[in-house]
């Protein structure tokens, strides 16, 4: 069996360094904000870019033969054995608004399978990690997913796609089905934190559609190693995933399998 311990230590180091960069900008107003492709719901800041540069430079120096997939820079393919999948700042909207729910997510794949996952929320001081087959941990303490059996006792989380202003397939139909059945519904704003919180039992379930590999790579390993399940409940909106404890997964999945709403909604400029 391959020993991934050194990769884990380096991923944790990268996450901590990225977190220091986040905090050097957070709530200080010393960074730029840009809309991607003219979409004001999909933004990048200079903090995202600086954190990404820090991580990628580390990989180039210490693992030059490893491939990289990162949210802002795209992909670098150097081979098929190892690949780092990076979201340098997950929860950029939160970050830019002064809200503390943001993180750095680093997953490392070996021959296409995620073997190391690190999610670090620097303002909260929460470092989640997992290595394939070795369990999941928060700040060095083992974590496991929740054990609730009834939706009425559950607190669950979700999110909304960045094209919500023009695409009626925007998760509102799922919210309408789930909300009346659960104790509480939250929208935390960082997929990596949402998934890690399911792993720790703080949330009973999380679902979202139109995610990307960098959003979920590390978190899904952490959730799996904590005993949670994940299911891709749709295959036509990039990564559309439900993460939940086994008992709650069985209750949630049927609620997310219906046809999406197709009614028209107003776009930002008021056109139908």
Q: What is the pLDDT of residue 42?
A: 63
The rounded distance, in Å, linking the Cα atoms of 248 and 182 is 11
Q: What is the pLDDT of residue 172?
A: 94
Q: What is the pLDDT of residue 165?
A: 86
155 and 74, same structural domain? no
Burial label for 120, CB within 10 Å (0-12, 13-18, 19+), is buried
Number of domains composing the chain? 2
135 and 10, same structural domain? yes
Q: What is the pLDDT of residue 36?
A: 67
Q: Report CA-CA distances (Å) from 229 to 115, 129, 146, 195, 272.
A: 16, 17, 11, 11, 39
Q: What is the pLDDT of residue 177?
A: 96
69 and 198, same structural domain? no
Domain, as residue range, for 166:
151-256
Could you count the other beta carbons within 10 Å of the beta carbon of residue 98?
10
Task: Tell me how far apart the 2 most distant CA atoms of the chain are, in Å.
Answer: 58
Instruction: Give the residue carrying structure tokens 């999948």.
Output: 85
138 and 16, same structural domain? yes
pLDDT, tens digit only, all 272 positions of the chain: 688 999 999 999 999 999 999 999 999 988 888 876 676 766 789 999 999 999 999 999 999 999 999 988 888 988 779 999 999 999 999 999 999 999 999 999 999 999 999 999 999 999 999 999 999 999 999 999 999 999 999 999 999 998 898 899 999 999 999 999 999 999 999 999 999 999 999 999 999 999 999 999 999 999 999 999 999 999 999 999 999 999 999 999 999 965 554 433 333 333 32
138 and 170, same structural domain? no
Q: Residue 117 belongs to a domain with what CATH number?
A: 3.30.540.10
End residue of a domain, out of 143, 164, 183: 143
Alpha-helical (H) ranges within the chain are 5-25, 46-62, 92-97, 172-178, 191-200, 213-225, 246-252
Q: What is the pLDDT of residue 257?
A: 67
Q: What is the pLDDT of residue 272?
A: 28
**CB within 8 A of 246, min separation 6: which ones?**
227, 228, 229
250 and 229, same structural domain? yes
Ordered DSSP codes for 81-93: SEEEEEEEEE-HH
Q: What is the pLDDT of residue 34?
A: 82
With respect to residue 72, please indicate whether it lies within any of the assigned structural domains.
yes
Mode of pairing for the β-strands spanning 67-70 and 74-76 = antiparallel
Burial label for 228, CB within 10 Å (0-12, 13-18, 19+), is buried
Q: Residue 217 belongs to a domain with what CATH number?
A: 3.40.190.80
Q: Order of strands, edge to edge, in the sheet holding 74-76?
A: 74-76, 67-70, 82-90, 103-110, 113-121, 126-131, 136-138, 141-143
* Torsional sign, CA 184, 188, 191, 192: negative
51 and 173, same structural domain? no
With respect to residue 125, please indicate whether it lies within any of the assigned structural domains.
yes
């Amino acid at each position: 069996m391959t020993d991934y311990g050194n990769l884990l230590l380096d991923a944790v180091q990268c996450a901590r360094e990225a977190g220091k960069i986040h905090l050097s900008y957070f709530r200080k107003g010393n960074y730029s904000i840009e809309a991607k492709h003219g979409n004001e719901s999909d933004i990048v800041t200079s903090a995202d870019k600086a954190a990404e540069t820090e991580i990628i430079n580390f990989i180039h120096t210490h693992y030059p033969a490893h491939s990289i997939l990162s949210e802002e820079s795209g992909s670098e393919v150097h081979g098929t054995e190892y690949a780092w999948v990076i979201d340098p700042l997950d929860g950029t909207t939160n970050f830019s608004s002064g809200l503390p729910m943001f993180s750095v997510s680093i997953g490392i794949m070996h021959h296409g399978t995620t073997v190391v996952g690190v999610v670090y929320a620097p303002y909260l001081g929460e470092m989640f990690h997992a290595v394939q087959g070795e369990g999941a941990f928060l700040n060095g303490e083992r974590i496991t997913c929740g054990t609730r059996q009834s939706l009425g006792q559950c607190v669950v989380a979700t999110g909304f796609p960045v094209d919500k202003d023009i695409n009626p397939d925007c998760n509102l139909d799922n919210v309408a089905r789930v909300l009346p059945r659960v104790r509480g519904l939250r929208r935390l704003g960082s997929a990596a934190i949402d998934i890690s919180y399911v792993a720790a039992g703080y949330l009973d379930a999380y679902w979202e559609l139109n995610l990307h590999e960098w959003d979920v790579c590390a978190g899904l390993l952490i959730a799996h190693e904590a005993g949670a399940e994940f299911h891709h409940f749709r295959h036509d909106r990039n990564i559309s995933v439900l993460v939940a404890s086994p008992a709650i997964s069985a209750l949630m999945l049927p609620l997310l399998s219906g046809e999406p709403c197709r009614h028209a909604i107003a776009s930002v400029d008021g056109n139908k």
